[in-house]
C-alpha cells in the first residue's frame, strides 16, 4: 500500500480560520524583497502545471489546487461521525467552493485514483460511502507547491523558513492542510482582491500562462509565442489565443503582435501583487498556526489553542 500513515493531528486544538487581515497583506507587499518572493512563488506555480496537459484540461488552475488541498484537509479533519476523506465529502467540498461541478469532481477523483494520487481506504460500515486515502504521491505533489511558496515566504518572514524545514513532520503539514481547508471552506480565496486575474484563472491554464508572460518579460525577454504556450500547457492555440485576448480586453496585457503573448500592463502587475500578497499572508498564517500547535502538542497534549494562535 503506497499511502502514508495518517498524522493524528489534534485538529480540535487548532483555532478556527480567521481571514488574513488587509494589514498583513499590505505589510508583506511593502517588504523590500517582495518582488523576489513573488518571482519564487510564481516559478513554483509554473513548474507545478508545466507538462501536465491532462490535468490542465480537466480542471482549471484554481480548482485543481483547491481540490488537492481539500483531499488532504478532509483526510486530516474527520466529520462529527468520524468519517474522513470520501468521494462524497470531496465532491461536497468542491461544490461549496464553487470550483468544480459534481460531474467534474467525480472525473477528477477517478483520474487521481487512476494516477495513484488517491487510493481506496478500509471499507466503512456505511457502504454508501467510499473511503479514500491520499497517497505519498499526492502529498509529494502538494508539498512541491507548498515548498516554493514557503521558500518565497522565507525571504520575507522567518516562519517561512521554519515551516519549510518542518514539512517532513506529518502532523505539522497536516496542520497546514487543515488551516488551508478551513480557509477555502470559509470562502477565502487568494484571488479575491484581484478580480480581473481571478476571471482568467477560471480558464484552463489561464493563470499560469499569464505568469509565464509576466516572468519572461520581467527578465527582459519577449513574451513567448501563443503556439509555445499552448504546447507547454496542453491547450489548443485557439484556446490560448482566446485567453490572452480576454486578458487584453480586461486591461491586463498589451499586444501589438497577434502571435505573441503580449506585454503586462501595470494593472496586471498590481493584480499579481495583490494575489501573491494574499497567498503569502495565508501561508504565513497557516505556518504560524502549525508552529504554535506543534509547540503546544510537545508541552501539554490535548490543550486547546486560544482563538488567536498568531499571538500566543
Q: What is the pLDDT of residues 255-295, one digit of tens each?
A: 766 556 678 999 999 999 999 999 999 999 999 999 988 88
Q: Are 68 and 141 in contact (CB under 8 A)?
A: yes
Please tell me the pTM assigned to this model.
Answer: 0.86
Give start and end residues of each alpha helix (H) in the chain: 22-29, 34-49, 53-58, 61-76, 87-97, 102-114, 136-154, 158-164, 170-185, 195-201, 206-218, 226-233, 237-249, 266-299
Mean pLDDT value across residues 295-308: 55
| Mean pLDDT of all residues belonging to the chain | 84
Size of the chain, expressed as the number of residues it contains: 312
Query: Mapping DSSP to helix (H, G, I), strand (E, B) and coil, where does residue 253 land?
Result: strand
Mean pLDDT value across residues 105-132: 82
Residues 50-68 pLDDT 10s? 776 665 555 455 667 788 8
pLDDT of 10 > 80? The answer is no
Give the pLDDT score at 111: 84
Cell matching residue 50? 508545466
Q: Is 246 exposed, middle or buried (0-12, 13-18, 19+ CB in 10 A)?
A: middle
| Out of 56-70, 184-198, 221-235, least confident range | 56-70
pLDDT of 237 > 80? The answer is yes
pLDDT band, very low/low/confident/very high, at 203 (cuts 50, 70, 90): confident
- Cell 502571435 locates to 259
Cell matching residue 118? 488517491
Give the pLDDT score at 105: 87
pLDDT of 125 > 80? The answer is no
d(CA 116, CA 112): 6
Q: Are 20 and 281 in contact (CB under 8 A)?
A: yes
Give the pLDDT score at 55: 57
- Domain parsing of the chain, residue ranges: 32-189+280-298, 195-267
Question: Phi then psi for 233, rounded to 5 degrees?
Answer: -115, 15
Percent of the chain with pLDDT over 90: 46
Give the pLDDT score at 300: 54
**258 Cβ neighbours under 8 A, 6+ residues apart:** 241
Give the pLDDT score at 306: 35
For the domain covering 195-267, report its CATH number: 1.10.10.10
Rounded to 5 degrees, what angle do the CA atoms 7, 8, 13 make? 120
Amino acid at each position: 500500500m503506497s499511502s502514508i500513515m495518517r498524522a493524528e493531528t489534534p485538529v480540535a486544538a487548532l483555532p478556527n480560520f480567521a481571514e488574513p487581515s488587509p494589514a498583513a497583506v499590505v505589510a508583506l507587499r511593502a517588504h523590500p524583497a517582495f518582488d523576489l518572493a513573488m518571482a519564487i512563488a510564481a516559478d513554483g506555480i509554473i513548474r507545478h502545471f508545466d507538462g501536465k496537459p491532462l490535468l490542465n484540461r480537466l480542471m482549471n488552475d484554481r480548482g485543481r489546487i483547491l481540490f488537492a488541498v481539500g483531499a488532504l484537509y478532509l483526510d486530516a479533519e474527520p466529520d462529527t461521525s468520524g468519517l474522513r476523506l470520501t468521494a462524497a465529502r470531496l465532491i461536497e467540498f468542491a461544490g461549496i467552493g464553487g470550483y468544480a461541478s459534481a460531474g467534474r469532481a467525480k472525473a477528477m477523483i477517478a483520474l487521481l485514483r487512476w494516477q495513484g494520487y488517491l487510493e481506496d481506504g478500509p471499507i466503512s460500515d456505511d457502504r454508501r460511502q467510499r473511503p479514500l486515502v491520499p497517497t505519498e504521491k499526492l502529498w509529494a505533489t502538494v508539498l512541491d507547491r507548498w515548498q516554493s511558496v514557503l521558500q518565497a515566504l522565507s525571504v520575507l518572514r522567518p516562519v517561512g523558513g521554519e515551516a519549510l524545514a518542518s514539512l517532513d513532520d506529518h502532523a505539522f503539514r497536516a496542520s497546514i492542510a487543515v488551516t488551508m481547508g478551513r480557509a477555502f471552506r470559509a470562502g477565502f480565496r487568494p484571488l479575491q482582491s484581484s478580480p480581473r486575474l481571478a476571471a482568467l484563472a477560471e480558464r484552463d491554464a489561464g493563470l499560469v500562462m499569464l505568469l509565464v508572460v509576466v516572468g519572461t518579460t520581467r527578465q527582459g525577454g519577449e513574451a513567448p509565442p501563443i503556439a509555445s504556450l499552448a504546447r507547454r500547457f496542453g491547450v489548443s492555440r485557439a484556446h490560448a489565443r482566446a485567453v490572452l485576448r480576454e486578458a487584453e480586453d480586461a486591461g491586463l496585457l498589451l499586444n501589438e503582435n497577434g502571435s505573441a503573448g503580449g506585454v503586462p500592463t501595470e494593472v496586471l502587475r498590481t493584480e499579481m501583487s495583490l494575489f501573491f500578497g494574499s497567498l503569502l499572508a495565508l501561508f504565513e498564517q497557516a505556518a504560524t498556526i502549525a508552529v504554535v500547535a506543534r509547540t503546544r502538542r510537545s508541552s501539554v497534549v490535548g490543550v486547546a489553542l486560544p482563538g488567536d494562535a498568531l499571538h500566543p
